[in-house]
Amino acid sequence: MLKFAKNLEISKPQVEKGLTSTPKKIKPLQNKKIKMLKINILKIVLVSLFSIRSVISFADEGMWLPIYADVISGNMQKLGCKLKPEDIYNINHSSLKDAIVQVGDFCSGEIVSDKGLLFTNHHCGFDAIASLSTPEKNHLVDGFWATTIKDELRAEGLTVSILVYMKDVSKEVNEAEDQELQKAMIAGEAEEEGKYTAGVFSMFEGAEHYLMVYRVFRDIRLVGTPPEVVGKFGGDTDNWMWPRHTCDFSVFRIYAGKDNEPADYSAENIPYKSAHSLPVSIKGMKEGDFTMTFGFPGQTERYLSSYAIEQNVNSNYPAYVKILEERLAVMKAQMDADPKTNLAMASDYASLANSWKYFKGVVEGAGETGFIQTKKQQEKEFIKWVEQDEARKKEYSNLLNESEALYTNSTEIKKIENYINVAAFAPSFTGFGFKFYGLKEPLSKKEDAKSIVEQITAEMPHHFKDYLPESDKKMFASMLKLMHDDLPETQQLSIFSSKTFLKLKEKPGNSVYEQYANLVATKSMLFNEQKSSAFLKKPSLKKFDSDEGVRYILSVVELYQKSNMELYLFELQNESLQKNYIKAQREMHPDKFYYPDANSSMRLSYGQVKPYSTRNKEFKNYYTNHYQILAKEKPGDPEFDVPKKLHDLLVAKDFGQYAKNDTLNICLISGNDITGGNSGSPLIDGEGNLVGIAFDGNWESMISDLYYDPAYARTISVDIRYVLFMIDKFGGAKRLIDELVIKN
């Protein structure tokens, strides 16, 4: 995880991106309005063909709040869905939603047995699996299958949230004087004295608000995982690409107290019995079959102006790509040199590599698809619409001009913010060091610093527990150079003009940045537990001021403060423009039922199994098969090796009940609309059966967080038959298969 300076209100950049990322904000429609819309929909269907298109063109696009299943139900049924809205979301009896979970705050998953058995992605379980591994007992490398229920391993820190209910609270929030306070109060009350965890999610930039109430389970155990080379087959080379052959799943179990409610870890806890678990169908899917995904998408920005998008793809994202590339190279060198470091960094590395390729893909995709031009065309139509009416003119005529000005003028300040967040705070000592910043004022004013000292002291062991000072030093040196080279003269860190730094002389094989990093690492308490501890026992201004690591932190804070006001004003203006723009877009198409941008709240999306082709490539098949794994196999290669046991099973075609004929299906694609956070979501057929586990998107749809193009946007899922084959034939974990309800 990246460490960010929260107290400074330096916003978390969208750097951890991808299907494993975390979210932001949202927006749908008030009840009243929805009823109106439904009537409109009817009317329009009767009136003109063109309008029918605008209502049903959402065949695959859209991340819908499950409480609105009734609104989209007609369209879903046309595509072959047999489920009724109340089978999907219902709070009076069990429904599909009871089997859908959020894993941590970054992934999705599904309950597949009445004993709380949970499927999610391998890349979602990655961190837990790595933490449970040692170089000697390496579950990441070898895979793991708990032989009996007693052998299931506690995944400390991992939580699973299950939605109890959601509710439109737009009216109460919008009418309140202090909306944030109102939201907190609504959520607080819904928690029923700690029974639940609740939050109010705002959608459409604050036009609508929804209360979400969860049970959060804290005793989660690892049940099984394939070896990394299978669960991440194709590695970073194949990541974000179709065709795919990755068995991206892992298995956990949710444990509850005796009352079936969330409880702290205890050996006495029992497997959670949920109101619904997904049956599994091994019949196989055909092209055109209905599919639904159900999960917790993190963040999309579908309603942005072309100017905002241009700033992202021309400036912000290329900066992320550059900095992440550098960070990955430094990490890789450390990881390759030592197995322990390798394990310690594996999870962060995977997640940064995923983000790096994501941003690269969006930048490339923007160039290739020309979707920004499409957005610009839509903006022209928007302007025309505004000009047709005096009231609209008054309200919206400056909107896009202001957006253009805002984004053109903020490119540089955003760059500084990005470098501070993604480069300056990349070394892990900075996260710990940032806490020391709080001591500056009390120490210089000779005020009481006791509570801050206590806080830092309490966190210190945690920071130093797995701290790798040598690697951190290398990261520091490389980030210093990047900051120095890339930021304008007037926006440099002040340490670069300090006496200490200026004294250093460039030497072959030992740059000034390396020398400076070395100096900080040798002298600063931020690199050394004893020194930190000694300081914290007797904090003095003199020691604080003369610590070179602290000086670095202060210089980053200083640079941030220089741009602070401008960034704050940018956010303020941006928020209000964006709110207005979404409002206007919805007014322009009153016949459309809009879905809110993803914000980590529960959503479903529906579509169909289907292949796609581009100008240069044609993917005739919507699925991949095991022959292609054998063709891709590269013995000894970390990304494309195939474990001997798997190789032999595939060659012998020993597929059990999981294949018809001689072919084992591996992955499949469908038009479902998903994004980061959806990882691990079930792919569900028209009857509510689990048929796959969603884990990625395709390269041609990298821009889909900004613009969904039905021609190219595909969800990649691992076929459930490959998953069960791995559990049963490869893992020998027959006891897990016996827990499932299998339809064939």
Residues that bind ligand ARG (CB under 6 A): 18-20, 123, 232, 235-236, 239-240, 350, 353-354, 676, 679, 696
Q: Residue 609: CB partners within 8 Å, gap ≥ 6?
A: 285, 286, 287, 288, 289, 291, 622, 668, 669, 670
Round the CA-based radius of gyration of the chain to a whole number and report it.
26
Least distance from C-beta 353 to ligand ARG, angstroms?
Answer: 6
As a three-state string, the secondary structure of 661-725 is: CCCCEEEEEECCCCCCCCCCCEEECCCCCEEEEEEEECHHHHHHHCCCCCCCCCEEEEEHHHHHH
Of the listed 277, 306, 601, 679, which one is catalytic? 679
Of 168, 248, 289, 673, the active-site residue reads 248
The smaller minimum CB distance to ligand ARG, of residues 18 and 85, is found at 18
Compute the least distance from the CB of residue 48 to ligand ARG, in Å.
40
Nearer to ligand ARG, 125 or 676 (CB): 676
- Min dist. Cβ of residue 690 to ligand ARG (A): 19
In contact, 256 and 262? CB cutoff 8 Å: yes
Q: How far is the CB of 373 from ligand ARG (least distance, A)?
A: 27
Report how far residue 87's alpha carbon sits from residue 93's, in angstroms, rounded to the nearest whole number: 9
Query: With contact defined as beta carbons under 8 Å apart, do 209 and 174 qualify?
Result: yes
* Phi, psi dihedral angles at 168 (to 5 degrees): -75, 115
The minimum distance between CB 228 and ligand ARG, in angstroms, equals 10
Q: What is the per-residue burial (b if ≥16 Cβ within 10 Å, else e) of 376-406?
A: beebeebeebbeeeeebeeebeebbebbbeb
Q: For residues 122 and 586, which CB has a smaller minimum distance to ligand ARG in the complex? A: 122
Closer residue to ligand ARG, CB minimum distance, 119 or 501: 119
Q: Which residues contact 50 (CB under 8 A, 6 or more apart)?
A: none
Minimum CB separation from ligand ARG for residue 254, in Å? 22
Which is nearer to ligand ARG, 22 or 599 (by Cβ)? 22
Minimal distance, residue 699 CB to ligand ARG, in Å: 10
Cα–Cα nearest to 603, from 6, 49, 51, 68:
68
The span from the CA of 425 to the CA of 556, in Å, is 9
Minimum CB distance to ligand ARG, residue 713 (Å):
14
User: How many C-beta neighbours within 10 Å does residue 744 have?
Assistant: 11
Question: Minimum distance between the CB of residue 441 and ligand ARG, rounded to whole angstroms?
Answer: 41
User: Phi and psi at residue 742, in whole multiples of 5°?
Assistant: -105, 130
Number of H-type helices and E-type strands within the chain? 29, 22
Distances (CA, A) of 36 to 30, 33, 51, 204, 521: 10, 5, 16, 18, 64
Which string of b and e fits 568-579 if b means at least 16 CB within 10 Å?
A: eebeeebeebbb
- Say if residue 633 is exposed, middle or buried (CB neighbours under 10 Å; 0-12, 13-18, 19+): middle
DSSP 3-state of 343: helix
Residue in the block written with tokens 């099973």: 649
Catalytic residue status for 123: yes
Q: Residue 162's closest CA among 255, 96, 100? A: 100
Q: What does the DSSP assignment read for 547-592?
A: -HHHHHHHHHHHHHHHHHHHHHHHHHHHHHHHHHHHHHHHHH-TTS
Contacts with 517 (C-beta within 8 Å, 6 or more apart), sequence order: 473, 474, 476, 477, 480
Which structure tokens are listed for 576? 């209000």
- Nearest residue to ligand ARG, scored by beta-carbon proximity: 19
Least distance to ligand ARG, CB of residue 18, Å: 3
Residue 551 CB, shortest distance to ligand ARG, in Å, is 37
Pair 277, 575: CB distance under 8 Å: no
Shortest distance, position 696 Cβ to ligand ARG, whole Å: 4
Closest CA to 270 of 259, 284, 285, 283: 259
Long-range contacts of 387-393 (CB under 8 A, 24+ apart): 392/584, 392/587
Question: How far apart are alpha carbons 387 and 402 in whole angstroms?
Answer: 16
**145 close to 224: Cβ distance less than 8 angstroms:** yes
Q: Is 423 helix (H, G, I), strand (E, B) or coil?
A: helix
Is 679 assigned a catalytic role? Answer: yes
Do 549 and 429 contact (CB within 8 A), yes or no?
yes
Q: Which residues pair with 697 in a beta bridge?
A: 715
CA of 65: how far to CAs of 89, 257, 437, 685, in Å? 10, 30, 42, 19
Q: Which residues contact 126 (CB under 8 A, 6 or more apart)?
A: 140, 250, 346, 347, 350
Residue 12: phi and psi, rounded to 5, are: -70, 120
- SS3 label, residue 346: helix
Which has the closest alpha carbon to 667: 249, 298, 279? 249
Nearer to ligand ARG, 4 or 242 (CB): 242
Whether 60 sits among the annotated catalytic residues: the reply is no
The one catalytic residue in 123, 139, 245, 463 is 123
When the beta carbons of 73 and 355 are compared against ligand ARG, the nearer one is: 355
CB nearer to ligand ARG: pick between 183 and 232: 232
Minimum CB separation of residue 103 from ligand ARG in Å reads 12
Positions annotated as catalytic residues are: 123, 248, 679
